[in-house]
Chain A
Amino acid sequence: MKTDELIKILGADAKTTTLPQGRMWLMAVMLAVIAAAAVFFMTIGMRPDFMQAAQTIRFLFKFVFTATLAITAFMVLRMLAMPGAPAGRYGRWLLAAPLLMAVAIVLELIVMPSSDWGRRLIGNNMMVCLAFIPSVGLVPLVALLVALKHAAPTRPALSGAVAGLLAGGLAATFYAAHCTDDSPLFVATWYGLAIAALGGIGALAGRFFLRW
């Protein structure tokens, strides 16, 4: 077929009926939040002393960390989904959550005696954390990958990985309301591992599922 013929065919199909990208992403994120909330409240739910905990800085910082991760990942994801958008320039925002965490860890190490560090790092809920964050994040990750499939990510594996970070940040935000381990040492290690696992799954899925 000659290129002119192809143009003739494409030209006849000018009218587009596809959902605008902004609305599609809004729907995907809403779906992801609802799915994560549903799994969270139907399974483990909030910790009993939530109201008291909400007055401690360590507990609140968990949400600052996970929400920062989710929001920055979303902004980068939007850029990755659009060919030619300056994703690299936005990519630096992904450093915000780890940097906040680094500051919190330094403060924790200064404030707490070194004999306490090990106990705070291991915590009580390590296994629940490692199992729960990935399983709560899985459905949101699928929703985000489907949205990416409708968009046009020119770097599929990277886009999938960032979708995984977003799903992980979202799942961890819910999980943080259940978890009684509030030390930044615990959060950085176990939340970090669980979120990274979702990032890895996302990258792999992106590589195979997001080609276009």
Chain B
Amino acid sequence: MAGMNEAELARLMRAATAGDEKAYAEFLRGTAAIVRGFARRKIVQGGVDPEDVVQETLLAIHLKRHTWRQDAPILPWIYAIARFKLIDAFRRRGRRIEVAVDDFAETLAEPEQETVSERDIGRALDGLPPGQRSVVSSISVDGNSIGETARKLGMNETAVRVALHRGLAAIAKRFGRG
């Protein structure tokens, strides 16, 4: 998965735009690996969790995917968004934690573990209106498809898609404000 190249990513994204959900998930996984590497290289001090940057970048890429021109190279587009989100994360950290990072150096340098991040997207879920929240959690937590979610919640598929899209936009907005 790591090291997916320009041509491969562009092909997957083109297929995704045409409605291929499998290609889209594959594109997102490849992009996540690239952004993770980028974020880990750039974040040398603590205070910003690289995985947060990965998630925020994926969300931004998702909501702004119409700004990629199908004939333009896709890697510069991905990196530009990742850089934008990384700077955003640094700026927020600067505002929040004014104390010296050195004080926490040992805690931060502990062996890598699956930590629950403070700025977890899961937490942003709690702030959503009930309708959007049940749609988003049905898909993420229970792993249902759009169709299954629609049947479970007694909605039609279009309404599920709209609620999902609005929920994602609301989560992204919450991040930006952080």
A binds B: yes
Chain A residues at the B interface, C-beta cutoff of 8 Å: 1-3, 5-16, 18-21, 81-85, 151-152, 154, 211-212
**A13–B81 CB distance below 8 A:** no
With contacts A1-B122, A3-B51, A21-B69 known, what are 15 further pairs, Cβ within 8 A? A5-B141, A8-B25, A9-B139, A12-B146, A13-B165, A14-B24, A16-B66, A19-B66, A21-B66, A82-B68, A83-B80, A84-B76, A151-B67, A212-B60, A212-B176
**A84–B140 CB distance below 8 A:** no
Number of interface residues of B (CB under 8 A): 53
**B28–A212 CB distance below 8 A:** no
Residues of B within 8 A of A11 (CB): 21, 24-25, 28
**B25–A20 CB distance below 8 A:** no
**B25–A7 CB distance below 8 A:** yes
Residue of A nearest to B125 (CB): A1
- Given the known interface contacts A15-B161, A212-B176, the answer about A10 and B28 at a Cβ–Cβ threshold of 8 Å is yes
Please tell me if B10 contacts chain A, counting CB pairs below 8 Å. Answer: no
**A3–B54 CB distance below 8 A:** yes
Shortest CB-to-CB span from B38 to chain A, Å, is 13
**A7–B28 CB distance below 8 A:** yes
**A9–B136 CB distance below 8 A:** yes
Shortest CB-to-CB span from B53 to chain A, Å, is 11
How far, in angstroms, from A154 to B136 measured CA to CA in the complex?
28
**B176–A211 CB distance below 8 A:** yes
Residues of A within 8 A of B139 (CB): 8-9, 12
Residue of B nearest to A87 (CB): B80
Shortest CB-to-CB span from A81 to chain B, Å, is 7
**B29–A152 CB distance below 8 A:** no
Please tell me if B90 contacts chain A, counting CB pairs below 8 Å. Answer: no
**A154–B120 CB distance below 8 A:** no
- Given the known interface contacts A3-B32, A9-B168, the answer about A83 and B69 at a Cβ–Cβ threshold of 8 Å is no
Q: Can you report 18 residue pairs joining A to B where beta carbons are below 8 Å apart?
A: A3-B51, A6-B59, A6-B140, A8-B25, A11-B24, A13-B168, A14-B24, A21-B69, A81-B67, A83-B76, A83-B77, A83-B84, A84-B75, A84-B81, A152-B67, A154-B84, A212-B63, A212-B176
